[in-house]
Structure 1
Amino acid sequence: MKRPKTLMSLLLGVASVMTLSSFTVAEYDSIKVAAPFPMPAIAIYDFPHNDFSIADYGAKKQGTDTDENCTTANTEAFKRAMQACNEAGGGRVVVPDGVWPCGPIHFKSNCELHLSDGATVLFSSDPERFLPAVEVSWEGLECMNYSPMVYAYQCENIAITGGGKLTPDMTTWKTWFSRPKPHLEALKQLYDWGYRGTPVAQRQAAVGQNHLRPHMIHFNQCRNVLLDGFKIRNSPFWTIHMYRCEGGVVRNLDVYAHGHNNDGIDIEMTRNFLIEDCVFDQGDDGVVIKSGRNHDAWRIGRPTENIVVRNCRVRNAHGLLVVGSEISGGIRNVYMHDCSMDDKVITLFYLKTNHRRGAFIENIYMERVSANRMQRAFAVDTDVLYQWKDLVPTYKDSITAIRNIFMRDVRCHEADGIYEINGDKRLPVKNVNIENLEVDTVRKYTTRAANVEGLNTKNIKWKAFAGKEDK
């Protein structure tokens, strides 16, 4: 169903000098998504039929010049093509077949980046290519950092489509995977900036040996997003990050990234999103729902809500569906259904927070999932701090309210344990519902639960118990 944007406000006062044909009427498809909570329809922009090939703006294929010269030419070609597309009222920035070395790609509104089936965009491993710094969120804290490979800031009606591939040259980025002392000091500084409310423009993180790696795709404060059909191979940091975005569809993606912190997709302080028919093969978590860290998130005050994940496949990951640990803006209304996990995860369905986060996690659903091997099918952990535990102080105790969690019709092959819930005694987890959960072989323990009120279980089964119960 198409719905036109109102143009009356634009036409008043200019009708005498301009005709209606001078304007591009924006139109949208509307997608209705079934969920166990009120889920608004999602608008998908119908891009104008205008193509802007990067080859027409000076881009050079790999092999036609030195990679250094190609990278310079192609970075500028993407910039010019995106600008021309935007100024024409919208359309497609087309990447033809071939390998195209480049630096960062920055979006403008009403632009679709279309990757031809035989196209590969090869991003540079030179950090200097990704300066000047741009505004991002790094592990839940806002700062000025190296530009993501693909970046959009305060854009609307943007898309990446086609059967081509995005991939970085990992030569430099993989040497940044470790956390040396300068990196940890940078994290301490970033945490302090958030606590003190330092203006984001003053939080310059892309300096020295800070090594805050750039995202692969980072859309910041954008509206009406579409990612459809392309491939990603490797990433310096989080692979796809939707941050403070409003409305979007992510579908038919093939994502492989097995480096450090290589989550598949991170949805943070974002609402009204559908993720469907994707394949993720990750070095960290698969589908991750977040909502900012501590004081930064409390300042912004924007929950993540109304997220549906369906018909997705995760080959390998630390977790299939993971909520947290950055949840300080609050998370509600998340529904994963009819998904599968091929090989192994640490935890299939995982909620994690700590005593610094505050906010809430509520109305989280998983249904009709099949999985292979794991440590735990379901877990809640309220004391997850990782490297931050001894790195920075607790400026404020703020306990997370966790309530209304549902897991139904899940089948697993092997697990160390079926579920493990570790609530905080100051604010116990409430109303956890686990029904029709079947595990073929349980290796270490069946169930563990502490500080939970309203734990409702029904038809939890296992065929074989391979170890000694350890409670």
Structure 2
Amino acid sequence: MPKIKVPNFSECPKLSILEFGAVLGDKDKNTLAIERAIEKANKMGCATVVIPQGEWITKKIHLKSNVNLHLAKGATLLFSEDPNDYLPAVHTTWEGMECYNYSPLIYAYECENVAITGEGEIKAKMDVWEKWFARPSGHMENLKRLYMLASNNSAVIERQMVNDSANFRPQLIQFNRSENILLEGVKITNSPFWTIHPYLSKNVVIRNINVYAHGHNNDGVDPEMSQNMLIENCVFDQGDDAIAVKSGRNQDAWRLNTPSKNIVIRNCTVKNGHQLLAIGSELSGGVENIFMENCNVSEDAKMFHLLFIKTNERRGGYVNGIYMNNITSGNIEKGVLGIETDVLYQWKDLVPTIERKLTPIKNVYLENIKAMNMEFVSRILGQEEMPIENVNLKHVVTDTLTIKKHIHEHVLNFNDN
């Protein structure tokens, strides 16, 4: 893994949004002030845009290269609940498929040397997004439409997903096709969709972040087709997976051909979430060289697995080299390790398989894992024509198993020491 390039703004000038007309309680003035400050910082070649103490309601924020968005202690960026505040639509994604949708609340597109830092809070008002959690009428039809457009390799500009019925929620923070990224120190509260989404990005450091987001699809961090990342010293308390490594869905990812790889996750605490580390199911670009160590899952977390790798017959891609070491956990609803190759959720009957591609999965290592009560230690459900290969468990200690230790189908070279 090459050394990560981390942007450094310590010697750069600071620009307060107050200098650009920000006023507490005035959404329009704050939005314009932040936009003007970011524009000037970018033209200066290196500057920090400071959000001072207070609650600053705003619309979308689009970052630019060589800019650090800094939230001072006691500062809150409060993002509007009005979907119209995240228009015009931007080039983004929905569950691994590229499209034009509502802008992420904080969005960096084709940026270099960009950061979000400080001791303040990023918070989303959830009034409308919560209603969209239930997938209102028309949402599933728009999902089908996007799936078919992507499956036929339609131009991304044709995939316009802002209309009266799609209700595709935006990500909270998305770094899209960007490099040299730092996200450090801030608290994040609430998210319409995925919370932190590095997409087709390189050299990413996420550290000392505190996430609280208990809505639908509220993963903590979703690295997707991104490379050379460090996630450390973070606290995750969310409604879905803590870390979900992805690499695109089906034809889109085969076209982009960019695996997620070289990702280190360490010294993190998870208070709630479905999985500590999930791989997939959007993994069509491939996932390799993922290393997690020294992480703790709280005793009262509602956790399904510590590591869950999921795919299906449509994905293709590959998984190679997943390492977990020194993990402690309380009770787990299912087990330490789950690998499933037929996970389709609502898509199973919604749309057909356009092109069948299986996912080779191999070289999975778990060592020094301690957890309490669960159903099983490992459940690995491979496919007869493509078994899972080389799964190694070493010093995995549990208290009580309610079903059996290992539940396996189509696995080659499994070791449990």
| TM-score tier after normalising by the smaller chain length | over 0.9
Question: What SS class does the counterpart of residue 305 from structure 1 fall into?
Answer: strand
Question: What SS class does the counterpart of residue 399 from structure 2 fall into?
Answer: strand
* Structure 2: runs of 5 or more not aligned: none
What residue is the counterpart of 1:88 in the other structure?
Answer: 44
Hey, what's the Cα distance between the residues in 2 that align with 1:137 and 1:358? 19
Question: What SS class does the counterpart of residue 81 from structure 1 fall into?
Answer: helix
Equivalent of 1:370, from 314, 325, 328? 328
Which structure would you say has the larger RCO, counting Cα contacts within 8 Å and 6 or more residues apart? 2
Hey, what's the Cα distance between the residues in 1 that align with 2:27 and 2:159? 28
Equivalent of 1:351, from 285, 297, 309? 309
Hey, what's the Cα distance between the residues in 2 that align with 1:179 and 1:108? 33
> How do residues 31-430 of structure 1 correspond to structure 2 at under 5 angstroms?
39-47=1-9, 48-62=11-25, 70-342=26-298, 343-374=301-332, 375-430=334-389
Question: What SS class does the counterpart of residue 373 from structure 2 fall into?
Answer: strand
| Counterpart residue identity of residue 450, structure 1 | E
| Counterpart residue identity of residue 398, structure 1 | K
Question: What SS class does the counterpart of residue 222 from structure 2 fall into?
Answer: strand
What residue is the counterpart of 1:448 in the other structure?
Answer: 407
Structure 1 residue runs of 4 or more that deviate by more than 4 Å after TM superposition: none
Tell me how far 1:244 sits from its aligned partner.
Answer: 0.2
* Structure 1: runs of 5 or more not aligned: 1-38, 63-69, 459-471
Hey, what's the Cα distance between the residues in 1 that align with 2:84 and 2:394? 52
Question: What SS class does the counterpart of residue 42 from structure 1 fall into?
Answer: coil
Hey, what's the Cα distance between the residues in 1 that align with 2:239 and 2:96? 19
Question: What SS class does the counterpart of residue 267 from structure 1 fall into?
Answer: coil
Tell me how far 1:200 sits from its aligned partner.
Answer: 1.0
Question: What SS class does the counterpart of residue 331 from structure 2 fall into?
Answer: strand
Kept in 2: contact 1:95–1:119 (CA 8 A): yes
Tell me how far 1:209 sits from its aligned partner.
Answer: 1.4
Kept in 2: contact 1:262–1:282 (CA 8 A): yes
| Counterpart residue identity of residue 164, structure 2 | G
TM-score by length of 1: 0.87
Kept in 2: contact 1:344–1:372 (CA 8 A): no
Hey, what's the Cα distance between the residues in 2 that align with 1:435 and 1:290? 26
Question: What SS class does the counterpart of residue 444 from structure 1 fall into?
Answer: coil
Query: Residues 344-365 of structure 1: CA distance to partner in whole angstroms, max 9, x if unpaired?
Result: 3011111100000011000000
The Cα RMSD (Å) is: 0.8
Tell me how far 1:443 sits from its aligned partner.
Answer: 2.1
Hey, what's the Cα distance between the residues in 2 that align with 1:233 and 1:422? 36
Hey, what's the Cα distance between the residues in 2 that align with 1:392 and 1:298? 19
Query: Residues 114-153 of structure 1: CA distance to partner in whole angstroms, max 9, x if unpaired?
Result: 0001000000000111100001111000000001110000
Question: What SS class does the counterpart of residue 329 from structure 1 fall into?
Answer: coil
Tell me how far 1:240 sits from its aligned partner.
Answer: 0.3
Hey, what's the Cα distance between the residues in 2 that align with 1:59 and 1:445? 60
What residue is the counterpart of 1:436 in the other structure?
Answer: 395
Tell me how far 1:444 sits from its aligned partner.
Answer: 2.5
Hey, what's the Cα distance between the residues in 2 that align with 1:443 and 1:452? 22
Tell me how far 1:196 sits from its aligned partner.
Answer: 1.1
Hey, what's the Cα distance between the residues in 2 that align with 1:180 and 1:434? 43
Hey, what's the Cα distance between the residues in 2 that align with 1:169 and 1:46? 31
| Counterpart residue identity of residue 45, structure 1 | P
Larger of the two Rg values belongs to structure? 1
Hey, what's the Cα distance between the residues in 1 that align with 2:78 and 2:23? 12
The number of equivalent residue pairs is 413
Hey, what's the Cα distance between the residues in 2 that align with 1:231 and 1:443? 38
Hey, what's the Cα distance between the residues in 1 that align with 2:166 and 2:302? 33
Tell me how far 1:383 sits from its aligned partner.
Answer: 0.4
Question: What SS class does the counterpart of residue 372 from structure 1 fall into?
Answer: coil
| Counterpart residue identity of residue 427, structure 1 | M
Query: Residues 245-277 of structure 1: CA distance to partner in whole angstroms, max 9, x if unpaired?
Result: 011110000000000000000000000000000
Query: Residues 70-120 of structure 1: CA distance to partner in whole angstroms, max 9, x if unpaired?
Result: 111111111100000000111101000000000000000000000001000
Question: What SS class does the counterpart of residue 28 from structure 2 fall into?
Answer: helix
